[in-house]
Chains A and B, each alone.
Chain A
Amino acid sequence: MVNKMSEKKAEAEQPLIDAKGRRADGRKLDELRPIKLQVGNLSRADGSAYIEHGRNKIVAAVYGPRELHPRHLAQSDRVLLRVIYRMATFSVSDRKRPAPSRREHEISMVLRQALEPMLFLKMYPRAVIDVFIMVLEADGGSRCASVTAASLALADAGIPMRGLVAGVAAGKIDGKVVLDLSDIEDKIGDADVPLAMAPDRGEITLLQMDGKLTPAEFSEALRMGEEGIHQIQEMQRAVLLEKYAQIREKIGEDKDAPKEMEEKPEEEPKVTKKRIKRAKTEKKDAKPKTTKKSKSSKTKDEGSETKE
């Protein structure tokens, strides 16, 4: 792409940044494209999210943690995270061939690595969490928008996470560092830096670069990206909360009313102890005349339970 840059640039009639410092779509240098987020839009998935980021339209679906097939892929100490990024054939102007391309494989892997550090993988050993990402319409920065959507979908599925990740690209066009490259800026610009972060934790989970930047420009791009990600993160939180706030609002509940949620946590442990103690004594007392076979077989199990 870099080699073709000069010819392509010649083709472009207008400069990417005009005299007033505005970009082709009227944005300022550090302005994001309009972003729309939705959550829980697929009823059959365990968690789902939809994002419109500029002209990107992307759906993410999460299934799991669920039983893993084929079994030999299971990891005995952690859950397997499978991410599949796929572009619809109609997502770009030249029909994309439906077979998974090299690029789709790569992005799937990159996205998996961007999401994995945020999950508590050891909580569900031997199982799998599937994340499917479908690009319905592609603009620049679809991998970054995919991270944003996938992380929302994971949260919507109720999968425990350290935090939400969001993504945005920074880059360089017409010699200036800018935020959130559009398709055209990505193609004829000088450099593209896709970035995904958990901003509150200050952790970067995805960072790539295409093109050339000086160290100073790179730092500037990173700073700008982080700024943008902070904004996106706020939107992510808002949309997750909104889903449940709406229901509360509809009922018109008053916040001070006494609330009752969950039932047992307090009593349960006591009962267990008593049961186990009783089970033990029963066992000692020379097998109580097979009083209900259910009891006797249970006794054994509960005895073994205590060892665990």
Chain B
Amino acid sequence: MSIHFEQQDIVVPGQLLAEGDFRNGDGAYKEQEKVFASVIGVAKMKGKTVYVVPLKGQYIPKVRDIIIGNVVEVTLNGWLLDFHSPYPAMLPVMHALSRRDAVHAKENLRRYYDIGETVVAEIIAADRTRDPLVTTLGRGLGKVRGGMLLTIIPTRVPRLIGRKGSMINMLKSDLQIDIVVGQNGIVWVKGNPKRMKIATEAIRQIEREAHTSGLTDRVRDFINQKLAELNGE
């Protein structure tokens, strides 16, 4: 039994992480009692499980995730969303409109979501053998209007949200703007243009420095500094 890394080390694919009685979590694989990293990322151990938090990678749909996507096709019974994943999402009428609306919708679905429009949705089924199914029925789901969209690397979304939402709540309250983060790495921001610009820079900083520590404090300092500049004008 031996461990070949320290917590928070950056590791590369194929790197030996631990030998002996360990389990492999995400980003790691096990072969003959040895656990190796399979992606580039930050290595961690919790109990007997060794895992790697990836620094890069595509978004793979997971049930109950909130995503932000673009309508790319209107079909007979729903919509297709592109949300920066290897698989397009299906949004059937059944999961998009109330039953009353759905009856009338048959004539023209474009009245509800048209091609090119941006939709916040929740994944309700995803197993990779078929395209994921999403719904827009629920609080905070549905079409977004105004504001702007940012795209970040999906594997760094957890960092943007922070532990129990600490990071994102700080951004929202300090800057007094609306932010919706899709697990697929698309972020919707709406508010005062000048504050939106600060938010954009802060989000970019979080993305760039996702693998470092003390990030929340640095971002807070950055925002306070920018806000002071803004008020000084």
Provide the residues of chain B in CB contact with A298, threshold 8 Å: 124, 135, 137-138
Chain A residue with the shortest CB-CB distance to B95: A297
**Residue A106 is within 8 A (CB to CB) of chain B in the complex:** no
A 248-270 to B, binary, CB cutoff 8 A, 1 in contact else 0 = 10010101011111111000100
Is the Cβ of B15 less than 8 Å from the Cβ of A158?
A: no
Which of B14, B41, B88 contacts A198, CB < 8 Å? B14
**Residue A163 is within 8 A (CB to CB) of chain B in the complex:** yes
**Residue B94 is within 8 A (CB to CB) of chain A in the complex:** yes
A 99-124 to B, binary, CB cutoff 8 A, 1 in contact else 0 = 00000000000000000001010001
Which of A46, A128, A158 contacts B39, CB < 8 Å? A158
Provide the residues of chain B in CB contact with A305, threshold 8 Å: 63, 124-125
**Residue A47 is within 8 A (CB to CB) of chain B in the complex:** yes
Complex Cα distance, B218 from A65, in Å, reads 33
Which of A240, A253, A293, A301 contacts B214, CB < 8 Å? A253
With both chains docked as a complex, state the minimum distance between the C-beta of A168 and any C-beta of chain B, in angstroms. Answer: 17
**Residue A93 is within 8 A (CB to CB) of chain B in the complex:** no
**Residue B184 is within 8 A (CB to CB) of chain A in the complex:** no
Interface residues of B in 190-230 (CB under 8 A from A): 208-216, 218
**Residue B128 is within 8 A (CB to CB) of chain A in the complex:** yes
Which of A46, A66, A260, A272 contacts B162, CB < 8 Å? A260
Given known A160-B27, A247-B209, contact A125–B129 (CB-CB < 8 A) = yes
Given known A67-B87, A124-B128, A159-B57, contact A241–B12 (CB-CB < 8 A) = yes
Complex Cα distance, B88 from A178, in Å, reads 51
Is the Cβ of A163 less than 8 Å from the Cβ of B63?
A: no
Tell me the number of A-to-B contacts counted with CB atoms below 8 Å: 161
Chain A residue with the shortest CB-CB distance to B25: A265
**Residue A64 is within 8 A (CB to CB) of chain B in the complex:** yes
Is the Cβ of B158 less than 8 Å from the Cβ of A255?
A: no
A 22-34 to B, binary, CB cutoff 8 A, 1 in contact else 0 = 0000000000000
* Total interface residues in chain B, CB < 8 Å: 62
Is the Cβ of A251 less than 8 Å from the Cβ of B64?
A: no
Complex Cα distance, B163 from A199, in Å, reads 39
Given known A263-B164, A293-B137, contact A46–B124 (CB-CB < 8 A) = no
**Residue A43 is within 8 A (CB to CB) of chain B in the complex:** no
B 161-185 to A, binary, CB cutoff 8 A, 1 in contact else 0 = 1111110000000000000000000
Provide the residues of chain A in CB contact with B12, threshold 8 Å: 155, 164, 236-237, 240-241
With both chains docked as a complex, state the minimum distance between the C-beta of B100 and any C-beta of chain A, in angstroms. Answer: 8
With both chains docked as a complex, state the minimum distance between the C-beta of A84 and any C-beta of chain B, in angstroms. Answer: 19
A 64-81 to B, binary, CB cutoff 8 A, 1 in contact else 0 = 111100000000100000
Is the Cβ of A262 less than 8 Å from the Cβ of B159?
A: yes
Provide the residues of chain B in CB contact with A47, threshold 8 Å: 56
Given known A120-B38, A162-B38, A294-B138, contact A201–B159 (CB-CB < 8 A) = no
With both chains docked as a complex, state the minimum distance between the C-beta of B112 and any C-beta of chain A, in angstroms. Answer: 14
**Residue B113 is within 8 A (CB to CB) of chain A in the complex:** no
**Residue B54 is within 8 A (CB to CB) of chain A in the complex:** yes
Is the Cβ of A244 less than 8 Å from the Cβ of B165?
A: no
Provide the residues of chain B in CB contact with A67, threshold 8 Å: 86-88
**Residue B58 is within 8 A (CB to CB) of chain A in the complex:** yes
Known contacts A64-B86, A159-B39; 19 further A-B pairs (Cβ under 8 A): A65-B58, A66-B86, A76-B129, A155-B12, A155-B40, A162-B36, A164-B13, A237-B15, A241-B12, A245-B10, A247-B211, A247-B212, A251-B218, A255-B8, A260-B166, A261-B53, A294-B135, A298-B138, A305-B125
